[in-house]
Amino acid sequence: MVIRSAILAICAGLMGVQAAGHAVAIYGRNGVKLGAPPAAATKPVTDVVGGHTLTDSYRWLEDNQSAETRAFLRAEMAYTDSYFAQVAPLRDRIVARLTELERVDQTGLPQERRGALFFMKRPADENQASIYMEPASYEVQGGAVVHPGAVRLVDARSLSRDANASVSLADISRKGDLLVYGIRHGGADEETVRVLNVATKKNTSDELPLARYMGFGLTPDGKTLFYAKTLTDGNGAVFEHRIGTASDKDTQVFGGTYRDETLGPLDLIGCDVSENGHWLIVKVSHGVPATREDILLKDLRKPDAKFEPLVYSVDARSQLHMYGDRMFVSTDADAPNGRVLLAKFGDPSMKSWVVVIPEGKSPIRAVSIVDGEMFVGRLVDVKTQTTIYSLHGKKIGEIKYPTIGSGSVVFGREKSDVGYYTFSSFTVPPTIYQYNVTTGESTVWSRPKVPFDSSQYEVRQVFYTSKDGTRVPMFIAGRKGLPMDGKAPLLMTGYGGFDISMTPSFDPKYAWWMEQGGFFALPNLRGGGEYGEKWHEAGMFEHKQNVFDDWFAAAEYLIANHYTTKERLAITGRSNGGLLMGASMTQRPDLYGAILCGYPLLDMSRYQKFLIGRWWTTEYGSAEKPDQAAYILKYSPYQNIRQGVKYPAIMFLSGDSDTRVAPLHARKMAAAMQATVMAEPEEERRPVLLHYDTRAGHSAGVSVQQAIHDTADELTFLWNETGVK
């Protein structure tokens, strides 16, 4: 949110929203004074949900386009601006430093096609990444690749006036003559899809309309594009598009039913084409995260071929990895930490398949095959380890990463002896390495020149005990030698869900915090995948409270060990992490000085009714079911706001372009929290703000310029409200 030169005047009582009064009603830190927040009308609606009677006073804010909601948002944005106007010098300094950290050349992982490399790149002075190509020939100087020069194929600068249109590289033909790419606006998940003739650098006539796409696959001859997308009824399907024809002529090749099983909105369908072009691969993931994943293949060499099940009706997550026509599947079937099997048709249960890489103590998180070698990425106490195997399962080496951080497996072509991998940490900007499979040597392919002195900072790992006695790991980063005397502000983030592992990676937001003399912390909560499927299951459904208890125990550990104090502890989280922030403010508001709650799930009684919320019932459950409502309503933040509680400073972050988590959660919770805080004694009231943008959304995609200003707002609020001068 860019500071306005003058605060908008909002007419009192407009559409049920009253303007903030001139008298001081709320005190922020460092002399910030605010009037009363916009008073949102209460219009109680009573429902029976899962056998529980619930009253919702702000149901009207679910209507995003109503005149009342838009008036509410205008008032909230003006109120939030009035806060930032009072801390403008701090914010200006943060914008200046973030600009230095962000305005560097950034390059994505390359993909090789016939001697050329295709990749995303954002030059330092541009707001979006474009798609580039360069010859694969190169020389090495000083341990780094010297690039011979890249050609811009798709220019993101030409796609919008406000620089909030972004492109993504979807697929490249085997010959490297066609490129499929997506265009989206703001942070929306939906995109349009175009096809580029690489030689002419001009789009073909092919265009796929705005939709949520789930996978693409060009055939080797470049004549056919298969793609998966979500239909208007919420169901998924796979289509065949002939290059050079109109998209309304595309034919559906999969979807609806399979083996007498009707597929619905909870069954996410993706597709790909094998590198040799022999197979159309369709994957059906039942739920998010999937409780079951089916892998179906169609032989494209046979005109009348049907889809054959490679993996079917197994309650597990599985991923196909091909080398020619040899098929390997990594799966957690009968192996919560994962294993790799040699697949074969005829036994979709996988029971008779040969084990290539057996299950171990540490969970397998990624697998790739390059030039006949298999790269298996594991998390060993949440630290990345990649082991190299032959296709028969013999260990032949490993990738050496520079320090504690996040390293990928090696990605490349089946027959190429060169691949690429990435590494990043809290103190190390993302670096891409080129890996020679024959020699085992790694060379820096791309390293951004971020003006951050990594040598001055360190990352440590600690373990603490959660409420039920579970041992939980946590990463802590900060300046070397920073005293643990309780005086440092500390920023902590977390997620805890959907089998997602949280590992150290670079972010200018965290870098700035550490530069100011603060600590940064990341606990590895249950619900993630850091210790395999059992760790994930320990934070799902009726066990979701474990995630929150792990988080509270992390805060208590940091305070008890004098990293910080309650007043100087700032927390931030988005999406499922936004739910974590909601639970933090409603269950343990005494532990924090400030909370940033971004793109959050907060009204868990109704989340499944909006956008793609139904996908997540395989993680949370649904309050529509009485047995699940019993535990969901115990932690649902919106239903657990309490009167007479001293809340910390809170800022909710959302925007109209969030097409994943409905922004109504942030709107309703902000209104309810503001009303609750105003009922507290005046001397105990802390700011509650709604930072709302009409362009921003859940996904990345906004311009670098807007991202810098949005991040500056977050840091300004959290830093100021932890009381640091």
Please say if the pLDDT value at position 280 is more than 50: yes
Q: What is the pLDDT of residue 330?
A: 98
Helix or strand or coil: residue 529? coil
User: Using one digit for the tens of pLDDT, what is the confidence trace for 593-651?
Assistant: 999 999 999 999 999 999 999 999 999 999 999 999 999 999 999 999 999 999 999 99
Strand partners for 256: none
Q: Which residue has the higher pLDDT, 19 or 577?
A: 577
Give yes or no for a contact between 208 and 228, defined as CB atoms under 8 angstroms apart: no
- Give one word for 325, left, alpha or beta, with left for phi > 0 and alpha for psi -120 to 50: alpha
Give yes or no for a contact between 127 and 703, defined as CB atoms under 8 angstroms apart: yes
Q: What is the pLDDT of residue 700?
A: 63
Pinpoint the alpha helices (H) of 277-386: none
Specify whether 575 is catalytic.
yes
Q: From 3.10.20.30, 3.40.640.10, 2.130.10.120, 3.40.50.620, which CATH number describes the 212-361 domain?
A: 2.130.10.120
Q: Tell me the mean pLDDT in the region 659-687.
A: 95
Q: How many CB atoms lie within 10 A of CB 422?
A: 20
Cα separations in angstroms, 648 against 566, 570, 673: 10, 10, 11
Please say if the pLDDT value at position 148 is more than 80: no
Under the banding of pLDDT at 50, 70 and 90, the label for residue 21 is very low
Pinpoint the alpha helices (H) of 118-277: none
Please say if the pLDDT value at position 7 is more than 80: no
Q: What is the pLDDT of residue 24?
A: 83
The architecture (CATH level 2) of 17-26+33-100+453-721 comes to 3-Layer(aba) Sandwich (3.40)
Pinpoint the alpha helices (H) of 58-176: 67-85, 88-102
State the chain's mean pLDDT as an integer. 93
318 token code pair: 């599985």
3-state secondary structure 237-298: EEEEEECCCCHHHCEEEEECEECCEECCCCEEEEEEECCCCCEEEEEEEECCCCCEEEEEEE
Under the banding of pLDDT at 50, 70 and 90, the label for residue 20 is very low
Among candidate residues 241, 691, 698, 709, the one labeled active-site is 698
Distance CA 281, CA 579 (A): 35
- The pTM assigned to this predicted structure is 0.92
491 token code pair: 């920023």
Please say if the pLDDT value at position 236 is more than 50: yes
% of the chain with per-residue pLDDT over 70: 96
Q: What is the pLDDT of residue 659?
A: 85
Give yes or no for a contact between 536 and 529, defined as CB atoms under 8 angstroms apart: yes
Please say if the pLDDT value at position 586 is more than 60: yes
DSSP 249: G
Specify whether 321 is catalytic.
no
Among candidate residues 575, 605, 622, 654, the one labeled active-site is 575
Please say if the pLDDT value at position 3 is more than 60: no
% of the chain with per-residue pLDDT over 90: 89
Beta-sheet pairing, 649-655 with 688-693: parallel
Q: What is the pLDDT of residue 327?
A: 98
User: Using one digit for the tens of pLDDT, what is the confidence trace for 207-225?
Assistant: 999 999 999 999 999 999 9
Beta-sheet pairing, 519-523 with 490-493: parallel
Distance CA 164, CA 194 (A): 18
